[in-house]
Amino acid sequence: MKTLYQDLPPLEIAGRKLVGRVLFGLLVLVSALVGATIGLLLVYSTDLPQVEELERYRPSSTTELYDGQGRIIGTFALQRRVVASYDDYPQVLREALISIEDKDFYRHWGVNVWRIAGAAYRDIESGGKVQGASTLTMQLARNLFLSPDRSFHRKIQEALLAVQIERRFTKSQIFTLYANQIYLGHGVYGFEAASEFYFSKPAKQLTLDEAALLSGLPKSPGYYSPINHPDRALKRRNLVINSMLEDGKITTLQAIQARNQPVQLKLQHDPNSLAPYFVEEIRRYLENKYGTDQVHEGGLRVYTSLDMDLQRAATQSVLDGLAAYERRHGWKGQLENILSKDVILANYQHPDWDDEPELNGYVHALVTSVMPGSAAIKFGRYTATLAQADAAWTKRKIPDMLRPGDIVYVKVLALADGKTRVSLEQDSGAQGGLVTIDNASGEIKAMVGGRDFNLSKFNRATQAFRQVGSSFKPYVYTAAIDRGAKPDDTILDAPVTFQTASGPYSPHNYDEKFEGMITLRRALAQSRNIPTLKVADGLGIKTIIDYAHRFGVTSNLPPYLPVALGSGEITLLEQTAAYSVFPNDGVRITPRYITKVTDYEGRVLEEDFPDVKDVVSANTARIMTSMLREVVLHGTAMAAASMKYPLAGKTGTTNDFTDAWFIGFSPTMTTGVWVGFDEKKSLGARESGARAALPLWMDFMKVALAGKDPGEFEAPPPLVPNPAQKVDTPDTAPAAEESH
């Protein structure tokens, strides 16, 4: 029997045996490589997350706060993100992103082998780590599931996850997940949020050059930031446009026109800056009820009571009113200078500059240089020249007041590149607060808690307990009217001494004068102290305090007679809400911040309805309203009589002019204003409620009531005067319950 190689020459036999051995060796080697590869894949895939999680995946979403008209007034988020659908992203954005990041996105299966091989070769050649060449799917896998470190181990895991994602999801789903997840600088995640942040418009409205600018950011959001590095952003944008041209996505003419466009940003105004004190109150409430994670990542929808238009008017009124106060008291100087703290001018950033300045707004600015008749200043990305005319009220020369490095307070009169104008103002520390409440619903429509939230988060509307002065007196007269007294009953305004447990108490009137026998109506309108104390003493101070509590005042009020003149400390919100009882016919409606809260899917988590309680009779409330109307028509708030609306209210001034108040109302809304210093020092001589607080209230109410039906106060019942009826006490009154 012949063998296989029997008829072959010896050399050929040897050659064939060698080939066989080589083939066998190659098979063994390939098997080993395949086995090793499988083993490596098993090792790298053992700790991979389950891609099935993506089906239930919902990115961290922004909680949004809306005003009564559905306008966004604030947000809470760890990541600024607006979740959008595939159709929300326009074709120009999709094509721009794919052209620069992943040209074969619609053709590959999650991994572009040739790109990875090329990138790996270049990295090995340069001695670096594997980087670049990631598809959109691989970037999505890395952003969702993996760490950002650059290593072969992470790259393999990234590729494995990308393949799984491609098997389970469509290309449009993958693109949408990526577009919602990617970081695009300045705390912004996703292209919808980026479009709103950089251009103040939804992604659907992006132009070619804008879409190209955003599409260039994923590579390095910080390096290509159009805010911090506009030159780099421009080059990167043009690279994206050229890539789109090469891919045939745009025409040559479109590319030229887009490249010729300058980088024009319209940065979104931070919605939280509109009503920061109000938003902060909401945040504390929500976090206490739902937890920090749910509030900052859960995408809640919070419908609030605020009115954006009234809030703007309230803020402007307070800031303008404080500026007028500062000008009345002259230039004080004492400016902070950053050069004394070894700070370089070019590197300085003030907290005010985190928000875009607004026209007619106020901002702290840095003096960069001083000339004989002017000073150059900077605030954020804006510069301006402060001329002598812009500081005329100080009656001083600019070089005598300012020096480089000073932090000055200015009002923005015009806001445009190259045309920014400001006026010099002053921030000596005076603060103000304003609250306005809708009478019918109890909804808080506007809240100002101070001059500058960036510098002080303390809310003077809700957290500051201040002596309310004569604005407390309406509770005294309400108690008297509710117990049978009439507005035209008389009382003696004359010197009196009250005997108290701590000794004799001899009060005086604001003007140090006495009017003799006067009616209760006039005593309240002219804010006479002695008649008020006599009424309070006759009823008992505990009775007066009980009425104040019935009106909703929850602050602790000690049972001392001077409380009748406002020595007790109450918050502005409490006092304003209490006054709304008068135009509400004696009904108290608890003030409300929130009307409804829903979760991410729209399920209602809570819905708030008015909490209503009877306080005094409608007759008592109407009589008191008419008496407080007299304060405006002929009393201490007579300046407001020029406003052609039905208005009523009460001024308040404390000893040494430390606190100035005006709480007033129309038939539809109640507004309270407070002005003072945090440390309870004097505002200055004659800075009463009528002078320091009332003008702010009037400025706001003019805007709030303009073009609206103000309504009418309900008329009080006909009053039958009692002949010779008077409310009086002897010159030396009996002992009060207790007194200071």
In this prediction the pTM is 0.81
Q: How far apart are CA 615 and CA 714, in angstroms?
A: 17
Q: What percent of the chain has pLDDT over 90?
A: 69
Within-domain flag for 264: no
In a domain, residue 528? The reply is yes
Show the CA angle centred on residue 588, arms to residues 582 and 590, nearest 5°.
130
Please list the helix, strand and coil fractions of the chain in percent, rounded to the nearest 5, in that order. 45, 20, 40
Per-residue pLDDT, 735: 32
| Greater model confidence, 41 or 534 | 534
Contact 565/506 with Cβ under 8 angstroms? no
Q: Is the pLDDT of residue 329 over 60?
A: yes
422 and 439 both lie in a single domain: no
Output the average pLDDT for the chain.
88
Asked if residue 719 has pLDDT above 50, the reply is yes
In the numeric block, the tokens 């794919």 are attached to: 98
Nearest to 511 by CA among 686, 694, 728: 686
Give the model's pLDDT for residue 5. Answer: 52
Is residue 303 situated within a structural domain?
no
pLDDT above 60: residue 580: yes
Phi and psi based region of residue 185 (left: phi greater than 0; alpha: psi -120 to 50; beta: remaining): left
Q: Give the CATH number, domain containing residue 339.
A: 2.40.50.140
Q: Who has greater pLDDT, 499 or 204?
A: 204
Of 427, 452, 469, at which residue does a domain stop?
A: 427
Q: Which whole number is the average pLDDT over 709-736?
A: 63
> Are 403 and 470 in a shared domain?
no
394 and 460 share a domain?
no
Q: Tell me: pLDDT of 78 over 50.
A: yes
Same domain for 695 and 572:
yes
Torsion of CA 621, 444, 326, 655, to 10 degrees: 40
Last residue within a domain, chosen from 427, 443, 472: 427
Tell me the per-residue pLDDT of 6-41, one tens digit each, with 9 for 90 and over.
565 666 666 666 666 767 667 756 554 554 444 444
Predicted pLDDT of residue 483: 96
If asked whether residues 670 and 578 sit together in one domain, one would say yes
Q: Is the pLDDT of residue 116 over 90?
A: no
Both tokens of 256, joined, read 């030229």
Question: What's the rounded mean pLDDT across residues 687-700?
Answer: 98
Among the candidates 173, 199, 231, a domain finishes at 173
Q: What is the pLDDT of residue 36?
A: 44
Q: Is residue 404 part of a domain?
A: yes
The percent of residues in the chain predicted with pLDDT above 70, rounded, is 85
**pLDDT value, residue 736:** 32
Strands (DSSP E) found in 362-457 = 362-371, 374-379, 382-387, 407-414, 421-425, 430-438, 444-448
Query: Given pLDDT bands bounded at 50, 70 and 90, which one contains residue 211?
Result: very high
Reported as a pLDDT band with limits 50, 70 and 90, residue 79 is confident
Whether the per-residue pLDDT at 133 is higher than 70: the answer is no
Please give the pLDDT value at position 730: 41
Round to whole Å and give the CA distance between 528 and 143: 70
Q: Are residues 467 and 362 in the same domain?
A: no
- Using the predicted structure, report yes or no on whether residue 360 has a pLDDT greater than 80: yes
Both 508 and 391 in one domain: the answer is: no
User: How confident is the model over 615-638, as a mean pLDDT?
Assistant: 97
With a cut of 70, say whether residue 4 has pLDDT above it: no
Residue-level pLDDT at 285: 96
Report d(CA 575, CA 465) in Å as an integer: 11
Specify whether the CB–CB gap between 585 and 614 falls below 8 A. Answer: no
pLDDT at 168: 85
Of the candidates 163, 176, 129, which has an alpha carbon nearest to the alpha carbon of residue 149? Answer: 129
| One-letter identity of residue 491 | I
Gap between the Cα atoms of 694 and 335, Å rounded: 29
Of the given ranges (108-122, 194-208, 385-399, 529-543), which has the lowest mean pLDDT?
Answer: 108-122
The catalytic position among 243, 273, 317, 470 is: 470
More confident residue, 36 or 721: 721
Angle at 607 between CA 604 and CA 608, to 5 degrees: 170
The distance from CA 566 to its chain's CA centroid, rounded to whole angstroms, is 33
Across the range 78-94, mean pLDDT stands at 91
Residue 4 lies in a domain: no
E-strand stretches of 599-725: 604-607, 612-614, 648-653, 659-665, 669-677
**Phi, psi values for residue 64, rounded to 5°:** -115, 140
**CA–CA gap between residue 290 and residue 63 (Å, rounded):** 12
pLDDT(732) > 60 = no
Confidence of residue 344 (pLDDT cuts 50, 70, 90): confident
- What value, to the nearest 5°, has the Cα angle with vertex 303 and ends 298 and 304? 125
Cα-Cα end-to-end distance for the chain: 134
Rounded to an integer, what distance in angstroms lies between the CA atom of residue 474 and that of residue 624? 8
Distances (CA, A) of 447 to 438, 444, 452: 12, 7, 13
For position 161, which CATH number holds? Answer: 1.10.3810.10
Residue 132 lies in a domain: yes
The count of structural domains within the chain is: 3
What pLDDT, on a 0 to 100 scale, did the predictor assign at position 731? Answer: 42
What are the pLDDT digits (tens) for 237-293? 999 999 999 999 999 999 999 999 999 998 887 777 899 999 999 999 999 999 999
Confidence of residue 144 (pLDDT cuts 50, 70, 90): confident
Residue from 95, 101, 166, 280 carrying the catalytic annotation: 101
Are 380 and 394 part of one and the same domain?
yes
pLDDT above 80 for 377: yes
Burial of 54 (0-12, 13-18, 19+ CB in 10 A): buried
Q: What is the pLDDT of residue 107?
A: 87
Task: Specify the pLDDT at position 645.
Answer: 95
Q: What are phi and psi of 250, to 5 degrees?
A: -135, 165
In a domain, 710, yes or no: yes
On the question of pLDDT at 452 being above 70, the answer is yes
Range of the domain at 356: 330-427
CATH number of the domain where residue 666 is located: 3.40.710.10
Query: What's the pLDDT tens digit per position in 429-446?
Result: 999 999 999 999 999 999
Active site residue 85: no
Q: In which residue are the tokens 């997350």 written?
A: 49
d(CA 375, CA 410): 12
Stretch among 123-127, 247-251, 464-468, 683-687 having the lowest mean pLDDT: 123-127
Residue 696: per-residue pLDDT: 98
Is the same domain home to 503 and 370? no
Answer yes or no: is pLDDT of 693 > 90.
yes
Q: Which one has a higher pLDDT value, 149 or 257? A: 257
Q: Strand pairing of 374-379 and 362-371?
A: antiparallel
Residue 374: both structure tokens together:
């002017």
Using CA atoms, how far apart are residues 312 and 436, in angstroms rounded to an integer? Answer: 12
Whether 65 is covered by a domain: the verdict is no
For helices 191-199 and 171-181, angle between their N-to-C axes, nearest 10 degrees:
50
Residues 417 and 439 occupy one common structural domain: no
3-state SS class at 406: strand
pLDDT of res. 135? 86
Is 210 part of the annotated catalytic residue set?
no
Indicate whether 472 and 359 sit together in one domain: no
